[in-house]
Amino acid sequence: MLNYKYLGGPLAKKTIFNKYFNAKTSKSLTKQFGGLCILYDWLYIDKLGLKAQPQRFQVHSCGNDPMRALIFGPMFLGFVGSLVVALDIILIPFHGEGDAFHWWLLYLVLGFNLTFLNLQPLWDRMAPPKLAYFDRQTGKVGYTFDIPDCEARDEFGNCCFDWGDMQCSLINESTSQSGSRAFFPKLSHIDIDKYPQTKMTIVVTELAQNPIYCLLFWERLVRFMDNTKPLPDIPEYEGYRHLDSITAEFDKHNNRPEVYWRDMSFAQQTEIYDELYAEAYKIDWYNDEPHPEITKPWQRWTPEPERKQTLNWKYKAKRLFMQLTCGIP
């Protein structure tokens, strides 16, 4: 049912599954504890204010952005180095008399990860990532980098195009990390010959060996850009729903509680994410009628606030471990 027949032509701007979800953790804990990253606050600088308005903008990094290699490449090297150090520790009992533990390797890996960890905020400021943002309010798609022959500019002075002139198709190509093949949604202007720089390869997941991840990404984007309907009731919009007039009016008549998703732990949200994706695998994306949206999620899932993570020693230890072994902020 989900195979290569999706490759080729552009996907239709319609929704079938209509069950949108994206687990989202609160940034309150991460902002309170930056760990060993000295300039951690710089990672949250949002010059245009795009990420601070999720009710209006969806922001995506282009998968073909060279900054991805600059960020994820060193993370991968740091992880491999940490595995080598761990293996060296495990083999200590088997070392011969003249074969001591390689302290230089431990210092090298730790130094590399800590250096990379503290360079990330600087790279982000010196070479900002290539972003595309989808404006629900104006129906425009803007780019944070210049595009030749672009005729329209948005309020930020960036090149922009009408949402109606954008298209999405699926591609299947090798991943740079493992060499295995994966599916990716490719977004671009319909006149790709005139605006080749508008082409964006979106990384929906690092292991998208099934096109369903791409199909659900496209559905969520199509639904978000339909400003005649309220925002889907998912975690990332909860704190901002009142800022979208149509959504605020809908929530008033729908008797929506002011706080719902924020009472859930990230682990519980991930379980809901897995549950909905399991349902998505069962539908026929070509022949099924559109499924109804979940407009009252509180009638289906009950929050378990006791599972929420707190800023305790376990959380701090986990953050420090990730920073030291992989250079992840």
Amino acid, res. 215: L
CB 270 within 8 Å of CB 23: yes
| Stretch 48-57: mean pLDDT | 90
Q: Tell me the helices (H) and strands (E) count for the chain, helix number first.
A: 7, 7
The residues, any chain, with a CB within 8 Å of residue 310's CB and separated by 6 or more, are 29
Global confidence as pTM: 0.84
Residue 212 pLDDT > 60, yes or no? yes
Strands 57-61 and 140-143: unpaired
| Stretch 201-228: mean pLDDT | 85
| Stretch 85-96: mean pLDDT | 82
Structure tokens at 86: 């761990």
* pLDDT tier at 1, thresholds 50, 70, 90: very low
Average pLDDT, the chain: 86
Helix axes 313-326, 103-126, angle to 10 degrees: 90
Higher pLDDT, 63 or 116: 116
Give the residue from 153, 181, 220, 306 showing the smallest Cα distance to 16: 220
Helices (H), 53-207: 66-90, 103-126
Count, residues in the chain: 329
CB 246 within 8 Å of CB 229: yes
Rounded Cα distance, 317 and 28, in Å: 17
Please give the share of the chain, as a percent, with pLDDT higher than 70: 90
Amino acid, res. 130: K
Rounded Cα distance, 41 and 192, in Å: 38
Give the residue from 295, 300, 303, 296 showing the smallest Cα distance to 18: 295
Rounded Cα distance, 216 and 220, in Å: 6
| Stretch 98-119: mean pLDDT | 87
Residue 128 pLDDT > 60, yes or no? yes
Burial class of residue 10 in the structure, from the number of CB atoms within 10 Å of its CB (0-12 exposed, 13-18 middle, 19+ buried): middle
Q: What is the pLDDT of residue 53?
A: 93
What ranges make up the beta strands (E) of the chain? 57-61, 131-135, 140-143, 160-162, 166-174, 181-189, 200-201
Structure tokens at 91: 């083999």
* pLDDT tier at 3, thresholds 50, 70, 90: very low
Structure tokens at 112: 């590399």
Rounded Cα distance, 320 and 329, in Å: 9
The residues, any chain, with a CB within 8 Å of residue 215's CB and separated by 6 or more, are 6, 11, 17, 285
